[in-house]
Each structure stands twice: as C-alpha cells, then as structure tokens.
Amino acid sequence: MSTEPDATVLDANAIAGLLAEVFAGAEMTSASRACQSCGQRRAIGEHRLYRGAGLVLRCPACNDIAMIMVEGDGWREVRTAGFWSLRVPGPAAA
Amino acid sequence: MPSFSRGFHGRPRRDVDPSRVPPGQYVEDDFPVLSAGPTPRANLAEWSFAVQGAVDEAVSWTWEELNALPQETVTVDIHCVTKWSKLGTTWTGVSIDTLLENVTTEAEYVSVWADGGYTTNVPLEDLRDGKAWVAHTFDGEPLAPAHGGPARLLVPHLYFWKSAKWVRGLTLTIDDEPGFWEQAGYHNYGDPWREQRYWSD
Amino acid sequence: MAAAAPARIVWKMATVVELVEETAHARTLVLDVPDWPGHVAGQHLDVRLTADDGYQAERSYSVASPPEDDRVALTIERIDDGEVSPYLAGELEVGDRFEVRGPIGGHFTWRAAEGGPILLVAGGSGLVPLMAMLRHRARQGSHADARLLVSARALDALLYREELMRLDDARDGLSITYTLTRDRPERWTGYARRVDAEMLEAVGPAVANMPRVFVCGPTPFVESVADHLVALGHDAAAIHTERFGPTGG
C-alpha cells in the first residue's frame, strides 16, 4: 500500500524525555530494536512517531508497530513489540 | 505546583454552550490531525466499501456506486479522546442505514476496517438509526487524506477514534472484537458523555 | 550507553540570563539551569510553559551551546502562528523563568572523541544541534573530517552566519557548503536549489569512507535527504535523523 508523504510525522527523539520518564531515567533513543516483522535492527530514535489517541512508534524499515503508549490521569501504559535492546551499567567483573 | 511563565497566554479559547461539551473536553477551532500510522494513498479506481462477515450475503460498492447512493449532509459535534471537541462540523456521505438496507444478519457487533490496517469495533446498534455514515465530504470539500479521505466512518456520538479514517468496510461479527485502540487500552465502547476513555473507566 | 541519572528527567526552573538576536526571526536564549549536569552535543531540552490559568504547553529545543560552555543556550525560530515560539523568541525578557527538563537524547549526539568522518546536513533551524556539534569540535581542537551542508531560504535567514564563516576559515578539516533555496545575493556562486543526491555526493565524504551522518530540520527535508543518502549507498544505520515537524521551528 503506498502512502502520502506526511510533513507532520516526527521521530522518537521528540519523546525522548517522555521515554526517559517511563523507563526510569534510561536514555531510550539510543536503545535499539530488532523488528518482529522485518528483522531490521534500528535505533529507537529512528522510529517514526505517530500521535493518535495514544502514541505509536513504528519501524523505520517496514512500518510495523514498535510501541504503543497510552496516558491517563496519573498513569501511563506502554506496550512494546519486537526485541528492544537497552544496555545499562552493571557490576564490573571481579 | 506549576510555576507560571510571565506573559505566556497560550491560544485564546472562546466561550461555548457548556451543554455541548462532554466532561473533560475543551473546544478546538482547528481540526487536529491524529493518526496511528502513515496516510494511505487512495486509488479510487480500485476503492471499494464492503459489508461482510456474519451476513447472509456480503455486499460491496465501488466509489462510483457509493456516490450514486442517497447522500445526506449532517452537522454534528465531534469529540476526540485526547480532549478536544469540535462543534458544528458538516459532513456529507451515505448513511450506514442505507448500506445495511438489504443486509440480513444476526450479528450484534461490527469490526470496522480501513486502509493502513486500522481497526475499531462498535455495537451494530450504534451504527443504525441515523447515528453513522460513510463520509467523503467535510465542510463542503472532498475529505482530505490527512483527515481520512477518500472516506471515513463517522460515528459522532462516540469518541472520534471510532470514526475510522480511510474506512473500507464493516465486518459484522457475532462476538465483539476489540480494534486497534481498544486493544491498546482505550475503552471498548467510548461514550464521551460518560467519559469512557480507557478500559479501566 | 549508560542509563541517564533520574535527575535529568526532573523539571527545573531555568532563568534567562541573556538574549541574542540571531536573525530577524530567530533568537538565542542563554539560560542558567540549576544543577546543570553538562550535556553532549546534539541533545535537547524539553521546555514547559504555564499560563496563569494553568494551561501548559510543552516543546523541545536543541541545545545550541557546546558542552564546554558553562551556560546553556537554545536558539528559537519564531513560527508566525505558533503557540510557544512567538513567546520565547519575542515576549520573553532577561530575568524571566520557565521550566526545563534535560539534557535529553542519546541517539542524535556526537562527541569529538568519536572522531570522523561526519556529514552534517541542516535544513533551517535543524542547524541548531549540528552547530552544537561543530562548536564542541572546535573547542576540543578536533581535526576530524567534518562536512556541513546547510540549506536556508536566504542568506539573512541563515543562523550563525558569521561564526560559520570563522569555523570554515579555521582550516582544521571542516568544510561548509551552503545552499540558498529561495533568495540569493546577486553574485552568489553557491548552490541555489533543494538538497539532492548530486549535491550530497559532491559534498561528501565518500560512501566508502563510511561517514556518520546527522540530518536535522523540517520533516520533509529530513525524509528527502535521508532517502537520497540511502540511494547513494550510505548505510541506513549510520544515518541519524531528527525531525522538527512541518515547519521545522
């Protein structure tokens, strides 16, 4: 299915602060995700951001859903799809 | 406690009849574009609208056939779950009653499907008796692709995510089948007057 | 990649300490942000304004200043019927305060220690985060191969014009190319069209040198440039994009 160019679409960099809040302070735009549909691994920051009733992130290679976020009064709910890779500090080897 | 920014006012909001504004909503003069994905590019030569599923006989219309059906122009208020309401919007399209005229079914639910993969669900009763249309014209102009053109479902008595953009058909179902936003955590029914935004409401 | 300390996601009150008129439509705000942890070039601040009726508006602005500066600078382009930018790039005065959160971001960042070659492609106000990268590069004395391609409507719309000329003159491995898409001075010999594949190829670095590419500006600009880069053979994974929306402000 072909699509119209959309001048308003953003990428996940625009919600980097929100993602950091949701993921307990982690910097998420440089996390990567292997898409469940096309297998491509891309940075979350490259994923396209759509604002519908909630927020949607889509794979930059195949457009498949990477994340849906819904925000209510005093809560946020996140659903992720695909394999998200996030590297965080841990104890060094002895 | 928010800290005020001296001199910042935001956009002016005008006064409206509060009885037209559901709880938690504010009135918007613009028409915000919201979408769960890219805008599909329409091909009217290949476009069709279908009523299928738990029906005696599936039926469909081409773009020409849809436009040859009796048309209605209605002015309605619309309410988005993201809290904006737009009052007095005028649409032209085909009433769902017209599309269901020769359809025999025992189904009680409808799965609405659209180009781009979007889906939503509505009880069949909520699409009958002058409550819903397949709308192709907004404010006298062909519906813009960003707003759902060539045609979208229009169900103004429910939150506007139920008015599926780029609609292509109704699948009548025996069981209720939650659609895209319903699966994502929004309310299964979505009555703005009872503020049914989320599944937990 | 380390997880950011939670303090970065807390809203704080920033104070405007200086205003710099960059062009007729853009202004730099220099801020004092309490407990500023330092930042990486390319990161941004989330800004939140609250009207006295409680209404809030939130936007993100790239940090224009390099990590080497003590104070944090944002360059704001005034969008005519915008809700926030006419206030920040107009009404706002020295001494005013507003809430900020950050620094935020990690994907669209560059540290001089990472080296080059790098290609920076800016459309309009997309130049802001890329300028932070170039200022950082200069302060670090880096000679990493860096190429900047800036697209602007006209010379008087070009941000940081004089500073770009100084950076270009430094002969430290940086080259800057301009394209003016709407108006140009009479004797202009530079590019005068939208960025295309031929221009990107001419600016370089060559695909074989595997540059990291940073593209920033209005969404249509970023999409078009990224498509051209991929068509030229650049690895999609080496292209970092940041979209500013329809108008880019």
Count CB pairs under 8 A between chains B and C.
41
Distance CA A45, CA C240 (A): 8
Same-domain status, C178 and C57: no
The identity of residue B163, as a single letter, is S
Last residue of a domain, one of C53, C74, C104: C104
How many structural domains compose chain C? Answer: 2
Distance CA B12, CA C49 (A): 15
Distance CA C228, CA C240 (A): 14
Task: State ipTM.
Answer: 0.93
How many structural domains compose chain A? Answer: 1
Whether the CB-CB separation of C129 and C242 falls below 8 Å is answered with: yes
Query: Is the peptide bond preceding residue C205 cis, with omega within 30 degrees of 0?
Result: yes
Q: What is the pLDDT of residue B14?
A: 73
Same-domain status, C118 and C83: no
- Report the 10 Å Cβ neighbour count for B93: 25
- A 45-84 residues with CB below 8 A of C? 45-46, 60-61
Residue A94 covered by a domain: no
Contact between A5 and C223 using a beta-carbon 8 Å cutoff:
yes
* Residue C1 pLDDT grade (very low, low, confident, very high; cuts 50, 70, 90): very low
Q: Which domain holds residue C232?
A: 112-243
Average pLDDT over residues B125-130: 98
Residue C62 covered by a domain: yes
* Residue B87 pLDDT grade (very low, low, confident, very high; cuts 50, 70, 90): very high
Residue C248 covered by a domain: no
Same-domain status, C117 and C213: yes
Residue A5 covered by a domain: no
Same-domain status, C118 and C236: yes
Q: What is the pLDDT of residue C4?
A: 47
**Of B59, B73, B190, nearest in space to B120 by CA:** B190
Same-domain status, C85 and C117: no
Instruction: Please report, for residues B80, B81, B173, the alpha-carbon distance to residue B25 in angstroms, rounded to integers and kept in the order given.
Output: 8, 8, 32
Contact between C50 and B7 using a beta-carbon 8 Å cutoff:
no
Residue C52 has pLDDT above 90, yes or no: no
Per-position DSSP letters for C153-187, written without gaps between them = SSGGG-TTHHHHHHHHHT-SSEEEEEEESS---TT
CATH assignment of the domain containing B151:
3.90.420.10
Contact between A52 and B116 using a beta-carbon 8 Å cutoff:
no
Q: What is the pLDDT of residue C248?
A: 59
Whether the CB-CB separation of A53 and A59 falls below 8 Å is answered with: no
Q: What is the pLDDT of residue C57?
A: 93
* Residue C247 pLDDT grade (very low, low, confident, very high; cuts 50, 70, 90): confident
Residue C249 has pLDDT above 50, yes or no: no
Last residue of a domain, one of C104, C124, C151: C104
* Residue C6 pLDDT grade (very low, low, confident, very high; cuts 50, 70, 90): low
> Minimal Cα–Cα distance from B168 to chain A, Å?
14
Distance CA C24, CA B33 (A): 30
Residue A32 covered by a domain: yes
Distance CA C44, CA C24 (A): 23
* Residue C3 pLDDT grade (very low, low, confident, very high; cuts 50, 70, 90): very low
Task: Residue count of chain B, please give it.
Answer: 201
- Please write the tens of the pLDDT for every residue from B138-178: 999 999 999 999 999 999 999 999 999 999 999 999 999 99
What's the whole-number average pLDDT of chain B?
Answer: 95
Q: Which domain holds residue B164?
A: 47-63+71-194
Last residue of a domain, one of C63, C83, C104: C104
Q: Which residues of C touch B (CB under 8 A)?
A: 13, 48-57, 83, 87, 91-92, 96-99
Distance CA C27, CA C23 (A): 7
Q: What is the pLDDT of residue B29?
A: 92
How far is CA B176 from its chain centroid?
18
CA-based torsion, B100, B105, B106, B107: positive or negative: negative
Subunits with 3+ Cβ pairs within 8 Å of A are: B, C
Average pLDDT over residues C159-179: 96
Same-domain status, C152 and C175: yes
DSSP single-letter state for residue B44: T
Q: What is the pLDDT of residue B2?
A: 57
Contact between B41 and A9 using a beta-carbon 8 Å cutoff:
no
Burial (Cβ within 10 Å: 0-12, 13-18, ≥19) of residue C166? exposed
Residue C206 covered by a domain: yes
Distance CA A8, CA B30 (A): 15
- Please write the tens of the pLDDT for every residue from C94-135: 999 999 999 999 999 999 999 999 999 999 999 999 999 999
Same-domain status, C99 and C59: yes
How many structural domains compose chain B? Answer: 1
Residue A76 covered by a domain: yes
The β-bridge partners of B117 are none
Distance CA C127, CA C133 (A): 10
Q: Which domain holds residue A32?
A: 10-85
Q: What angle do CA C165, C168, C172 make, to 5 degrees?
A: 150
Element (H, E) at B119: strand B119-123
What pTM does this model have?
A: 0.93
**Of B56, B41, B66, nearest in space to B169 by CA:** B66
- SS3 state at B186: strand
Residue B5 covered by a domain: no
Q: What angle do CA B91, C81, C62 make, to 5 degrees?
A: 115
Residue A3 covered by a domain: no
Residue B62 has pLDDT above 80, yes or no: yes
Q: What is the pLDDT of residue C8?
A: 74
Structure tokens at B85: 């309401």
Subunits with 3+ Cβ pairs within 8 Å of B are: A, C
Same-domain status, C98 and C116: no
Residue C249 covered by a domain: no
Contact between C50 and B8 using a beta-carbon 8 Å cutoff:
yes
Residue B123 has pLDDT above 60, yes or no: yes
Residue C185 covered by a domain: yes
CA dihedral C58, C60, C65, C70 (to 10 degrees): 40
Same-domain status, C91 and C66: yes
- Please write the tens of the pLDDT for every residue from C133-148: 999 999 999 999 999 9
The β-bridge partners of B182 are none
Residue A44 has pLDDT above 90, yes or no: yes
Residue A49 covered by a domain: yes
Contact between C60 and A14 using a beta-carbon 8 Å cutoff:
yes
Residue B54 has pLDDT above 50, yes or no: yes
Over the range B114-137, which residues count as b (16 or more CB within 10 Å of their CB) and which as e?
bbbebbbbbebebbeeebbbbbbb
Percent of chain B with pLDDT over 90: 92
Burial (Cβ within 10 Å: 0-12, 13-18, ≥19) of residue B56? exposed
Same-domain status, C23 and C131: no
Residue A1 covered by a domain: no
What's the whole-number average pLDDT of chain A?
Answer: 94
